Structure 1
Amino acid sequence: MARVSIIIPNWNGAHLLPGCLNSLRRQTFSDFIVYVVDNGSADNSLDLLASSYPEVSVLAHTSNLGFSAAINTGIAADDSVYVVALNNDTEIDIDWLAALVDAMDQYPEAGLATSRILDFKDRNIIDTIGDGYSLTGLSFKIGSRCRNEVVETQPFDVFGASACAAIYRRRMIEEIGVFDVDFFAYMEDVDLSIRARLAGYRCLSVPDAVVYHMGSASTGGTASAFSVRLTVKNIIAVIIKDVPSSLLPRVIATAAATQVGALFQCLFLKRHPWLRKNLKAYGQGLVEALRQTPLMLRKRREVQRYRRISASDLKRLVAHSEDLRRRYAATHFPSPSPSSRSDPWSPT
């Protein structure tokens, strides 16, 4: 049994897979197995894998079950010590996996770790060094559109791990559960990160684990009706499912104010053109969030059952992620990417 399982969800990504899989072949750390979980691709993904990548284990679904279900399929395939989620629209540095495994071995209290993810086209620009979370209910990319040279040299704490290229301790997953399939896609990694932090696990950013990311290559790269609907729904799901009771009134109030403010700017100040274009999808996301509220309330009981930290502890973790965002903002490039997660409805 390999020590690490690398799980790559794929949906019509035959044009992306060679870059990702070829870079995996060059890794200095070799004790891993690769699972490509195909979500009913209609292109030649399966033929490509069979003919050119015999070392890859293919787990094929007949339809698109979403990112969460794909990762969970790979998690269930074996009993490796570590599980890695990796997007198919990435290429990775030769020492990427070695750096992630070394960090997890060095810090046994860490349940998950994220990579230093750089822009695929301009590799002097950071895509993200980790996820942040705010009491508005919105997540954000730490370091997005900042200069690459400002990154720390040693592993350091961040709030959450972007599932674009993250490693998870299987023991932690067995305790807190796998990715939530009711999220389908978007915010599923934020949900898992919050659950991990509530359970008392550290989350690390590993600067030496370098990944180059195209960004939403499978879903088009811009805010779409699909991404807006799911992100709005899942923002609310995270709040209901994960936020401790003592913080819940504040987060609900600030989240509602933030959403109303965004809608006001969209409708009356003509800002947020991506939202104006997707107002119907936004409304659909709100309706779906209301419909699934009873389900998220049931899941909330399980999350609170294994919670080991206080609401005050969670507030400190949130404040730390905000501090990191402000620290990196000083090195921000003048034209932020439209795919930045500071814009909460953009695909990542």
Structure 2
Amino acid sequence: MSLGEPNRVAGSSDNSDSLSVVAIIVSWNSGEWLIPCVQALSEQSHSNLTIAIWDNASSGPTLAVLDQISDSYPMTRIFRSDANLGFAGGNNRAAEKYPDTNFILTVNPDALLDHDSVRFLVRAAATDEHCGAIGVTQMSPDGLYFDGIGDCYNPSGIAWRGMHGQPARALGSAPRKIISPCAAIALYRTSAFAACGGFDEDFFCYMEDVDLGFRLQLAGWHCLHVPDAKAIHFGASATGSGSDFSAYHGHRNMIWVFCKNMPGVLFWLFLPLHLVANLASIAVLVARGKPGIAYRAKIDALRGLPAMLGKRRAIQRRRKVSILTILQKLTFKLQAGQLFR
């Protein structure tokens, strides 16, 4: 598989090849998506790579696929959960199995990494000790469009994948700073991941990556996008694009991300924008025939707010960067077509 011909990595003179990576695939009824995902990981040029699947109590055909992977890819370790812990909990539990690895690579089952992607990611992390997380260039299945080049976060609390759906073009090779990588394919420094508590399991899924990226920023880490690290991302293979499930979690979690992480005076400055964004999101869901989802998402967000404000106090006490630094990480121009997906 090839996603273009960017600066292919030859024998590296640095020691990044010796750094250990565990690639974690969280599966929930992911079925046949798993085999090509594992195959792409098994072909990575980075040699010190372990593959782990955390299965969230799948049923049906996925069980046979997991057995097939055990036979065909014996280097892949499979953990079977008795309950669905979500994307957040599944990654956290799997990461706990590998406390000594240098890096954690989260990989959605519907993502296919190009041959050198992990090596590009690790090499970038090895040369920047303050980098806590790195994202790839996510491409559409036909390779003609960007699926995302890192998350963007507006002061209103609206988040989206940068350049999602835009025609593919050359991006250069230099890493660039972002607020958060999309965790569909993201490399996390284990020490940073652990220090910040990993993914917030109350989120279950959706926007848990933006939340973690924001917390990393507040703790003094930064996040990068490495253009040459590429992957195909099919998107929403388990939960369905535009499903009630994704709408509920996305619209609930947008409130929690803002209330947990927006620091100091920025919280009060941007709170009116956040309230307007929530009203707009409700209107969008109602227009899509999902008034019940809108009601439940916002009510449940408010019910969970005391716990989130408790987390906020702990997060903000540990903040190591200035308000201005965070302000510079925000994206003020909204990307058309990406609101409330």
Same fold (TM over 0.5): yes
The Cα shift of 1:184 comes to 0.2
Instruction: Report the counterpart of residue 45 of structure 2 in structure 1.
Output: 28
Q: Which amino acid aligns with 2:254?
A: I
Does residue 1:58 correspond to 2:82, yes or no? no
Does residue 1:76 correspond to 2:92, yes or no? no
- Alignment partners' CA distance in 2, 1:42 and 1:343: 34
SS in 2 for 1:149: coil
Instruction: Report the counterpart of residue 15 of structure 2 in structure 1.
Output: none
Q: 2:115 aligns with which of 82, 94, 101?
A: 94
SS in 2 for 1:112: strand
Instruction: Report the counterpart of residue 269 of structure 1 in structure 2.
Output: none
The Cα shift of 1:206 comes to 0.6
2:21–2:105 Cα contact (<8 Å) kept: yes
Instruction: Report the counterpart of residue 333 of structure 1 in structure 2.
Output: none
Counterparts of residues 319-330 of structure 1 (less than 5 Å): 321-322=331-332
- Alignment partners' CA distance in 2, 1:213 and 1:307: 33
Q: Which moved more, 1:47-56 or 1:17-26?
A: 47-56
SS in 1 for 2:105: strand
- Alignment partners' CA distance in 1, 2:168 and 2:288: 33
2:138–2:149 Cα contact (<8 Å) kept: yes
Q: Residues 114 and 322 from structure 1, CA distance in 2 versus in 1: closer, same or farther, beyond 3 angstroms?
A: farther
Instruction: Report the counterpart of residue 188 of structure 1 in structure 2.
Output: 208
The Cα shift of 1:322 comes to 4.3
Unaligned runs of 5+ in 2: 1-17
The Cα shift of 1:262 comes to 4.5
Deviations 1:236-279, CA, capped at 9 Å, x for gaps: 11111111131112322101112323445x5xxxxx67x53222
The Cα shift of 1:128 comes to 0.4
Q: Which amino acid aligns with 1:26?
A: E
Q: 1:292 aligns with which of 304, 307, 315?
A: 304
2:176–2:224 Cα contact (<8 Å) kept: yes
The Cα shift of 1:224 comes to 1.4
2:158–2:277 Cα contact (<8 Å) kept: no
1:241–1:299 Cα contact (<8 Å) kept: yes
- Alignment partners' CA distance in 2, 1:305 and 1:195: 12
Q: Which amino acid aligns with 1:172?
A: A
SS in 1 for 2:264: coil
Counterparts of residues 189-338 of structure 1 (less than 5 Å): 189-220=209-240, 222-264=241-283, 266=284, 275-318=287-330, 321-322=331-332
Does residue 1:8 correspond to 2:19, yes or no? no
The Cα shift of 1:282 comes to 1.2
Deviations 1:11-52, CA, capped at 9 Å, x for gaps: 111210111111112111110111100000103243222222
1:135–1:250 Cα contact (<8 Å) kept: no
1:12–1:42 Cα contact (<8 Å) kept: yes
1:186–1:231 Cα contact (<8 Å) kept: yes
Runs of 4+ deviating beyond 6 Å: none
- Alignment partners' CA distance in 1, 2:128 and 2:74: 34
1:14–1:48 Cα contact (<8 Å) kept: no
SS in 2 for 1:97: helix
- Alignment partners' CA distance in 1, 2:282 and 2:29: 34
Q: Which amino acid aligns with 2:121?
A: L
Q: Identity over aligned residues, as a percent? A: 30
